[in-house]
Amino acid sequence: MPPTMTATEALVEELQDRPVVNDVVINVATVNGSGSQSANFILLRALFSMGIPVSGKNLFPSNIEGLPTWFTIRANEDGWLAQRARTDVVIAMNARTVAEDVAQVHPGGILIINEALKAHATRDDILTYVVPYGEIVKQVCEDTRLRKKIVNVIYTGVVARLLGIEMDAIDAAIDHQFGGKPKAIKMNRDAAQAGYDWAGENLEAQNRYRVQRSNKTDGKMIIEGNEATAIGMLFGGVTVAAWYPITPSSSVCEYLTGYMEKYRHDAETGKATYAIVQAEDEIASIGMVLGAGWAGARAFTATSGPGISLMSEMTGLSYFAEIPAVIVDVQRMGPSTGLPTRTCQGDIAKTYQLSHGDCKHVLLIPGNVGECYEFAMEALELAEQLQTMIFLMSDLDLGMNKWMADPFNPPSKPIGRGKVLDAKDLERLGGFQRYGDVDGDGIGYRTLPGTPNNKAAYFTRGTGHNAKAEYTEKAADWKTNMDRLSHKFETARKLVPASIVHETDAATVGVLAYGSSDDAVQEARHILQERHGVKTDYIRVRALPYPADVRAFIERHPVVYVVDQNRDAQMATILRGELFDLSGKIRSIRHYDGMPLDADTVVQQLLHQESR
Partner 1 sequence: MTEAVLDKPKGQNRIGLLLSDYKGAESTLCAGCGHDAITSSIIKACHELGIEPTGVAKLSGIGCSSKTPNYFLNQAHGINAVHGRMSAIATGSSLANRTLTNIGVSGDGDTASIGLGNFLHMVRRNIRMTYIVENNGCYGLTKGQFSATADKGSLKKGGKEINQNEPVDICALAIQMGCRFVARSFSGDTNQVRNLIKAAMNHNGTAVLDIVSPCVTFNNHEGSTKSVTYARLHEDPLHEVDFIPHFDPITVNYDAGTYTKVEMHDGSLITLKKLAHDYDPSDMDRAMALLHEAAGNGHFYTGLIYCRPDSVPFGEQKNIVDVPLATLPESVTRPSRAVFNQLMASFK
Ligand X SMILES: Cc1ncc(C[n+]2csc(CCOP(=O)(O)OP(=O)(O)O)c2C)c(N)n1
Residues that bind ligand X (CB under 6 A): 244-246, 282, 306-307, 310, 337
For residues 75 and 252, which CB has a smaller minimum distance to ligand X in the complex?
Answer: 252
Query: Are the beta carbons of 424 and 397 closer than 8 angstroms?
Result: no
Q: Which does 142 bind (CB under 5 to 8 A by kind): partner 1, its own copies, ligand X, none?
A: none
Edge to edge, what strands does the sheet with 543-544 contain? 275-278, 240-243, 299-303, 325-333, 389-395, 362-364, 543-544
C-alpha distance from residue 190 to each of 37, 43, 170, 203 (Å): 18, 15, 11, 19
Q: Please state, in angstroms and rounded to a whole number, the distance separating the CA atoms of residues 325 and 301.
A: 8
Nearest C-alpha neighbor of 92 from the set 41, 151, 27, 141: 27
Pick the binder of its own copies from 513, 595, 602, 606 (CB under 8 A): 595
**Under the criterion CB under 8 A, does residue 244 sit at the interface with partner 1?**
yes
444 binds, among its own copies, partner 1, ligand SF4, none (CB under 5 to 8 A by kind): none
CB of 490 to its own copies, least distance (A): 13
Give SS3 for 421.
coil
Residues 205-224 close enough to bind ligand SF4 by CB under 6 A = none
Among the listed residues 19, 411, 418, 497, the single contact to partner 1 using CB under 8 A: 411
In contact, 56 and 41? CB cutoff 8 Å: yes
Binding flag, residue 339, its own copies (CB under 8 A)? yes
Smallest gap from Cβ 259 to ligand X, in A, equals: 22
Site string for its own copies, 42-61 (x = CB under 8 A): -------------------x
293 binds partner 1 per the rule CB under 8 A: yes
Binding-site size, its own copies (CB under 8 A): 69
Task: Give the one residue of 34, 578, 604, 609 binding its own copies; rule: CB under 8 A.
Answer: 578
Residue 353 and residue 347: Cα distance in Å, rounded?
10
Rank residues 32 and 193 by Cβ distance to ligand X and give the closer one.
32
What is the rounded distance in angstroms from the CA atom of residue 302 to the CA atom of residue 375?
14
29: β partners: 70, 92
CA neighbor of 10 nearest in space, from 106, 102, 80, 90? 106
- Answer with the entry of ligand SF4, partner 1, ligand X, none that 13 interacts with (C-beta below 5 to 8 A by kind): none
Among ligand SF4, ligand X, its own copies, none, partner that 64 touches (CB below 5 to 8 angstroms by kind): ligand SF4
The upper half-sphere exposure of residue 612, i.e. CA atoms within 13 Å in the direction of its Cβ, equals: 6
Q: To the nearest whole angstrom, how small is the minimum distance from the Cβ of residue 465 to ligand X?
A: 16
- Rounded Cα distance between 455 and 423, Å, is 8
Q: Can you give 151-219 as a three-state secondary structure string?
A: HHHHHHHHHHHHHCCCHHHHHHHHHHHCCCCHHHHHHHHHHHHHHHHHHHHHCCCCCCEECCCCCCCCC
d(CA 217, CA 406): 9
Window 57-116: residues binding partner 1 (CB under 8 A):
61-67
Closest contact distance (angstroms) between CB of 578 and its own copies is 7
Q: Does 223 bind partner 1 (CB under 8 A)?
A: yes
Among 114, 152, 341, 499, binds its own copies (CB under 8 A): 341
Q: Rounded CA gap, 50 and 11, in Å?
A: 29
**By the rule CB under 8 A, 235 interacts with partner 1:** yes
Residue 233 contacts residue 376 (beta carbons within 8 Å):
yes
Binding flag, residue 476, ligand SF4 (CB under 6 A): no
Closest distance of CB 460 from ligand X, Å? 16
User: Smallest distance, Å, CB 96 to ligand SF4?
Assistant: 17
| ∠ CA 282-283-287, rounded to 5° | 115
Restricting to residues 264-323, name those near its own copies by CB under 8 A.
304-306, 308-310, 312-313, 315-317, 319-321
Tell me which DSSP letter residue 515 carries: G
435-460 per-residue burial string, b: 16 or more CB within 10 A, e: under 16:
bebeeebbbbbbbeeebeeebbebee
Q: What residues between 435 and 474 interact with its own copies by CB under 8 A?
A: 461-464, 473
Pick from partner 1, ligand X, ligand SF4, none: which does 296 bind, CB < 5 to 8 A by kind? partner 1
Could you tell me if 139 and 194 are in contact, meaning their C-beta atoms sit under 8 angstroms apart? yes
Of 28, 90, 314, 543, the residue at the interface with partner 1 (CB under 8 A) is 314
Report how far apart the first and last C-alpha atoms of the chain are (Å, whole number): 16
Residue 592 binds its own copies (CB under 8 A): yes
Nearer to ligand X, 247 or 472 (CB): 247
Contact partners, residue 471, CB within 8 Å, separation at least 6: 459, 461, 463, 464, 465
Nearer to ligand X by Cβ, of 19 and 245: the residue is 245
Q: Which of these, 608, 596, 102, lies nearest to 345 by C-alpha position?
A: 596
Task: State the minimum distance, in angstroms, from the CB of residue 565 to its own copies.
Answer: 10
CA 476 to chain centre: 44
Q: How far is the CB of 64 from ligand SF4 (least distance, A)?
A: 4
DSSP state, residue 597 = P
Does 266 contact partner 1 by CB under 8 A? yes
64 binds ligand SF4 (CB under 6 A): yes
By CB under 8 A, tell whether 353 contacts its own copies. Answer: yes
Distance CA 233, CA 255 (A): 10
Closest approach of Cβ 244 to ligand X, in Å? 6
What is the smallest separation between the CB atom of 178 and ligand SF4, expressed in angstroms? Answer: 24
Residues numbered 440-459 forming contacts with partner 1, rule: CB under 8 A:
447-454, 456-459
Site for its own copies contains 586 (CB under 8 A): yes
Binding window for partner 1 (CB under 8 A); candidates: 23-31, 167-175, 405-413, 473-481: 405-413
With CB under 8 A as the contact rule, the residue among 252, 325, 349, 393 that binds its own copies is 349
Contact positions toward its own copies, by CB under 8 A? 2, 61-62, 304-306, 308-310, 312-313, 315-317, 319-321, 333-342, 344, 346-347, 349-350, 353, 355-360, 461-464, 473, 475-476, 478-479, 482-483, 486, 566-568, 570, 573-574, 576-578, 580-581, 583-584, 586, 592-595
Contact positions toward ligand SF4, by CB under 6 A? 64-65
